[in-house]
Amino acid sequence: MGDVIVVGAGIVGLTTAVRLQERGARVTVFTADPPERLVSTVAAAVWYPTHTDPDPRVLAWAATTYQEFRRQAADGVPGVLLRRTRMFQRQAADDLPWWAAAADDVQAVDASAPYARELRFVAPLAEMTTYLEWLRDRLVAGGGQLVERRVEALDDLFAEAPVVVNAAGLAAGALCGDHTVFPARGQVVLVANPGLDVSFRDEENPAGTTYVHPRSRDVVLGGSFEPGRADLVPDPAVRAGILARAIALVPELAVAPVVGERVGLRPARQGGPRVEAEHRAGGLLVHAYGHAGAGMTLSWGSADEVCALVEAGR
């Protein structure tokens, strides 16, 4: 089958597979679900380390990923955009937030009440359906394989490859017996783009996190982060709250018709992402899961660390 099997074809699994392939590995990716059912396709997928702790490793992954997406945007990679971002903060602070070191030129400026200040920076954005397709094409063009197959036991895969990467998202915890993994439900509303090309964030809104991310054809409005909730049916009350908060933040959205809504289960983990290796009887198992809502933000940096662990463990 090849040198490495990656379990999971979301943003973390595919970036990891591509990086391993670039370093000479023959890679096969197993995915339990077709692409349109993956949580990665629901994500707003804008660079920002949301719901992550100020861990030095997370900061390094975020910085690597930020620069990679900046390079891809410059190279015209399909689905990758750059968006000027205005992030409103309600709490006064003298210093920039911990994650600012990973981004280019984060500036703090005064803001009007109810905000204490505004942060301005450029954030990469990935239109995930297009971007995941580009990653899959890149994998296959390099000789890799993408196979729709549900994995029941990671150890069984060592009969087919000496290295297995567990990047199965929410299912990753069950596959390795990690009970700290839990779903964090997220709902977004899609509206037609009335001409916006700037992203807006109000993370500290007491009514709920608020973001407005314009893509090429629509605008993603959010959001919700509901730990432990696992249903996938859009909630009308959540939808109404998202729309009200987004329109209050960006009044131009009041005339934008709703064109869709999405619900996904983020693969969260107590203690943050797990990216580490362990030797099993049959081979090397590398874990890469628990990125919660920051999968896009940490993807390429996490993938680089997986590569380093594979090279060190062989």
How far is residue 227's CA from residue 208's CA, in Å, rounded to a whole number? 14
pLDDT value, residue 257 = 97
CATH number for 4-313 (one of 3.40.50.2020, 3.40.50.1460, 3.30.9.10, 3.40.630.30): it is 3.30.9.10
Task: Identify the CA nearest to 253 among candidates 207, 219, 293, 206.
Answer: 219
Using 70 as the pLDDT threshold, list the residues of the chain that sit under it.
Answer: 1-2, 35-36
Q: Helices 295-313 and 11-22 meet at what angle, rounded to 10?
A: 40
pLDDT value, residue 299 = 98
pLDDT value, residue 36 = 66
Helix, strand and coil in the chain, % to nearest 5? 35, 30, 35
Find out whether 152 and 33 touch, Cβ atoms under 8 Å: no
pLDDT value, residue 34 = 73
pLDDT value, residue 43 = 83
Number of CB atoms found within 10 A of residue 42's CB? 21
Domains of the chain, residue spans: 4-313
How far is residue 291's CA from residue 265's CA, in Å, rounded to a whole number? 12
Find out whether 45 and 216 touch, Cβ atoms under 8 Å: no
Q: What is the pLDDT of residues 256-286, one digit of tens each?
A: 999 999 999 999 999 999 999 999 999 999 9
Residues 6+ apart with CB under 8 A from 172: 7, 8, 166, 178, 181, 267, 287, 289, 290
